[in-house]
Structure 1
């Protein structure tokens, strides 16, 4: 095959180009502080916040946030908003919250479909907050209300606000979805709004706090080394009363060695028993914590499309 000089030079240049020249997308600069003053119950908190980058590849970030004291929402605005909003709650075993894999990366996929996204950086239960295991839930409830208030102010639909939680963030999103009781005293007008989402998407969630299927690290960070039976009962999603809860979308890989698939299966049974609308997708392989980037080209990589199709059927988004 003949190659002209320009083509040959181009191929030579490509051969000398490093495999990865792409740079991770810049972070959005728009953030919302959850609390107008200090977060509640921090009198005994003395931790120093930090964000750690684990990626050595400039093509993507892989950060986690730890010891958060001033929780925030990072806003990702779509080019063409369709009126829907999504609160994203990343996982991290309640020891930290991953910023990118289950936060920014997922948000960009939904923003590309017209959804206005809000990635939550929340407080952690082991840092000394007075609310203990309810400190992350305080942030999630406050965040959901702020997203609803923000949607109304921005011309979006405050009645089309979904939550997406992954791993331990799936547990937190599940608590947010199931519980109707506020865990903090009102601080402004936003706290008059509903604190429950209209839809809930749970990715490989840490659902149970009970043996034998518990993710031990998440339970230890949330409830301590020796939780009481009452605490296990209160914070196990499959033991909560889901009657009247909004629709739930579950996704799990059956080869998940960190959070067994029984977490989702038991929760699905509880949802069905309560008459709560639910859809579940189980994949033979995928492991744990795959988010979006780590599952591209594999069967479980279809989950954003499946979740959006489900959301479209529920009137959350308009699918083109």
Structure 2
């Protein structure tokens, strides 16, 4: 296995790391090797539930929000430039003057764009290019430039008044797929769940329009999105679960499940994510339960739906999306 770029920079003596003090890692990746940074000193901050759970299983100090003052920080960027710059700003404010801030990411995640933005405000101490990515690092100055505050991603509101923030899926407003589902899904009855609920648009609309829903569980892996959903969905029938939707175990099975599942890993399309949501829905539904899923027209979900459900039909094909209904879940009865 190729060492992480920060490990190489430290081993080569290019980057100097403090020998004492807490180390902050923002958006800590689940399988990353932090031993060169002082593993026992690391606070691994990660709001994506599957990665957070894997970090905790490795007995790292895994958190959703940082706490304390730090001698150094590593930022692992994400595909959203706005969120990545906000992470850099957070690291700069939480590391004491004279401490080291390192920023790491792949070229297809936008590391060059982040490097360019940081260089406009702050001098760099060094860079390392390796394995289609780049690491750069700098010393935290005594006084931060005014422009750093502009990087901090503050929650905003869509035209419809929903709370969102940079880095969330469709932060500027509901995506067309979600709009198709809430417009065309039939009346739901009993206990329902929203798998991959995001910032809560579909649940908010359906709870507002359908009194026949007895309860709605919003299940979302991204902590910040779930916090936004709490602000957006004030119906007493709603409950909120920070969890990997594909592994979630409900207290009892549902009468209905809705989903607009994610289909990207980083910047690459990954139909396996939606396929995992289909399998999870089949497992969570009652034998009489119904699954309603919207997906981009080109994604190959028909075979997976047929494998996990006894009945199914295409309710609509509109605006580049397909809305499916599936019933008779095979769930745990599958071998």
Q: What TM-score bracket applies, with the shorter chain setting the length?
A: under 0.3
Structure having the higher Rg: 2
Q: Which structure carries more relative contact order (alpha carbon 8 Å, separation 6+)?
A: 1
